[in-house]
Structure 1
Amino acid sequence: MSLERLTLERRQVWLYLTMITAGLLVGSAWPDLGRFFEALLWPILIVLLYATFTQVPLLHLRDAFTDHRFLAAALTGNFLILPVLAWMLVQGLPPDPALRLGVLLVLFVPCTDWFITFSQLGGGNTARAMALTPLNLLSQLLLLPVYLLLVMGNELAAVLGLSDIWPALVVVLLPLLAAVTSEYWITIPERRVVLRERLAWWPVPLLALVVFLVAGAQVGAVRGALGQLAVVVPLYVLFLLLAALSAKGLTTLMRLPADQGRTLAFSLGTRNSFIVLPFALTLPSGWEIAAMVIVVQPLVELFGMVFYLWWVPRKLFR
């Protein structure tokens, strides 16, 4: 990864904050643009997910199984411990199903892209991080409906059916299939790999555009939900602390080396916010807070990663 891209990814939180502010200002000044922003949001999300998925080695899934202890720790942490932890944390939130759904959506799914960058910056095992990403991606797509059915089955079914979420399924599955096809095409011949490197620059500016559009389209919902948004920020901070401590416990239990423990901490601490954003955007009127809390989460997470980069290699896994 180039130094320029590392610098961009380390400072991306300020870009997102700027774009959210700009979106709120534009949405307040010209509220009629809301429908245009909502229409533009979907194709931008497709391109964003495609650019992100191309960075996941989807054709190298079996590489994840080369280290069974690390794999067991990562799967146990991401798909057993953290979902239970997320469910426990939302019990302290106001009894608003839309608010709780948004938090659960984003905390249930582990990151598949920038946690590799933070693992590299934090002295983790980058090879293990890259090998884990395709398994994390496929597992979350399969398990997310199961988790939501278990914790919010009746409430969710009352407002959302399969006919309502098909646009979100298309937005996620279409770029995923395109990325699988692209990966095969890019690697044969190998000189096309430069295309993947160019696509790796896209997610940060595209996500900045997405948060601008969401803020501009939902400015009214944001104003009405400021109090609720403030409630979820401490929850996300607590989640970051508990995720890292869970990684420490799993690393000790599985007797992993320190570099793999750091990678595990960054994997458990980072979430896949924009893969669940399309599903939140399909929710009916009155449930806009779900999308808002999903947009807020990566901002808290990125500040948390600044702390992680000091805490994880210097204190937690020396």
Structure 2
Amino acid sequence: MDLMDKLEPGIIFSAVLIGLMLSNIHIISQNTAAFINIFLCLMLFAIFLEIPLNKLKDSFKNTKFSLTSLMINFIWTPLFGYFLGSLFLKGNADVLIGFFMLILTPCTDWYLVFTKLAKGDISLSLSILPINLILQIILLPIYLIIFFSSGNAIEYSQLSYSILTVIVIPFAAAQIVKFLLNDDLKEKTSAIFTSLQIWFLALAVMCIFASQGELLFSNLDSILNIFIPLILFFISNMIIDLLLSEKINFTYPEYASLTMTTLARNSPLALAIAINSFPGHELISIALVIGPLIELPILYIVSKFCLYIKNSGLFFVCRQF
């Protein structure tokens, strides 16, 4: 875990604090919203640039792992997430949608850091990344329509516009750049944008809170309610991953990889879609920003728990490798 990975939670938290301080300055709070999409698109361009879509076929080399991971992420998690959200957040539709969008999107970056910390199978975790990205882009709008269209929370034109603006265009731009550059330049360009990802996200977060600081303070109780269902999600899925891994006869590295793949969430992508899909519902975006502040410390604790499972000899005794 390098220095930047360790600093990510602090960088995001600092961006929140700076944004809240700037929200008291009228000229800034009234003009920062215009920059949110710019920073989010740059961040997603960087993500798409580094994801090896040419290795999509590798997602299915370990069929047992891939199917288990995909079923948890895209069948169990949406249903369980909606249940938790409805149970604890029913009184605030915007926070409920924000929580659901966070839960539905598997991580495409920092889960690899925690997989390494837990001594999981990095190659296996990396192989599932392209299919996780593609499925969440396809299924997130579908699940939003299924669960929330009856409450008139979804504007289909806005949802389509957001997919085009923050997903299709950055994705296409990344693929064009990779096609035009030779391998050496491609690697250098990807490295530069990868190092800037967290800063693009931090700037977007700062702009969100600078423009919506007053809204946050007036709805603080509703926002803090997201802690309970989110923690229950992590605990429940951690237990399910352990029991399934033992039942399916996964090795320890496979178990650690499954745990991180199914726990870590991709709030930046969900945030980019939320900003454009739900104009006038800024609490959705704020709820999504709160997610990583809870998630990253929990993932660190879970990585230590996985190592305890490995070193205690309670499980996977005969299947370490």
Q: TM-score, normalised by structure 1?
A: 0.91
Partner residue of 1:211? 205
Runs of 4+ with deviation above 6 angstroms: none
Distance 1:76 1:191 in 2: 37
Pair 1:127-2:123 in alignment: yes
* Pair 1:248 & 2:242 matched: yes
How far apart, CA to CA, are the structure 2 residues paired with 1:281 and 1:199? 22
Structure 1: any 5+ residue segments left out of the alignment? none
Question: Residue 43 of structure 2: which of 42, 48, 67 is its match?
Answer: 48
- Aligned pair count reads 310
Residue 64 of structure 2 is aligned to residue 73 of structure 1: no
Q: How does 1:256-267 map to 2 (within 5 A)?
A: 256-267=250-261
What root-mean-square deviation, in Å, do the aligned CA atoms of Structure 1 and Structure 2 show? 1.9
Q: In 2 relative to 1, CA 120–103 (structure 1 residues): closer, same or farther, beyond 3 Å?
A: same
What aligned pairs does 1:108-147 form with structure 2 within 5 A after superposition? 108-147=104-143
**Residues 204-261 of structure 1, C-alpha deviations (whole Å, 9 max, x = no match):** 1221111111110111111111001111112211111112122213322332211011
8 A Cα contact 2:163 2:273, kept in partner: yes
Query: Do the aligned partners of 2:102 and 2:270 also contact (CA within 8 Å) in 1?
Result: yes
Of 305, 308, 318, which residue of structure 2 is paired with 1:311?
A: 305
Render the CA deviation track for 1:253-299: whole Å, top value 9, x for unaligned.
Answer: 332211011011111111111111123223232x2211111000011
Match of 1:13 among 5, 9, 15: 9
Q: Which amino acid aligns with 1:262?
A: A
Could you list the per-position Cα deviations for residues 151-182 of structure 1 after superposition, in whole angstroms to 9, with x for gaps in the alignment?
112224x5523146514531121111222233
| Deviation by residue 1:58-86 (Cα, 9 ceiling, x = unmatched) | 12110111110111111011111111110
> Structure 2: any 5+ residue segments left out of the alignment?
317-321
Q: Separation in 2 of the partners of 1:25 and 1:143? A: 37
Identity %: 21
Looking at structure 2, the residues matched to 190 and 159 of structure 1 have their Cα atoms a distance apart, in angstroms, of 44
Bigger Cα displacement from structure 2, 83-92 vs 247-256: 247-256
Matches within 5 A, 1:86-125: 86-92=81-87, 93-125=89-121
Quote the residue 2:18 is aligned against.
Answer: 22
Q: TM-score, normalised by structure 2?
A: 0.91
**AA in 1 matched with 2:82:** W
Equivalence for 1:174:
169
Letter in 1 for 2:12: Y
Name the amino acid aligned to 1:31: H
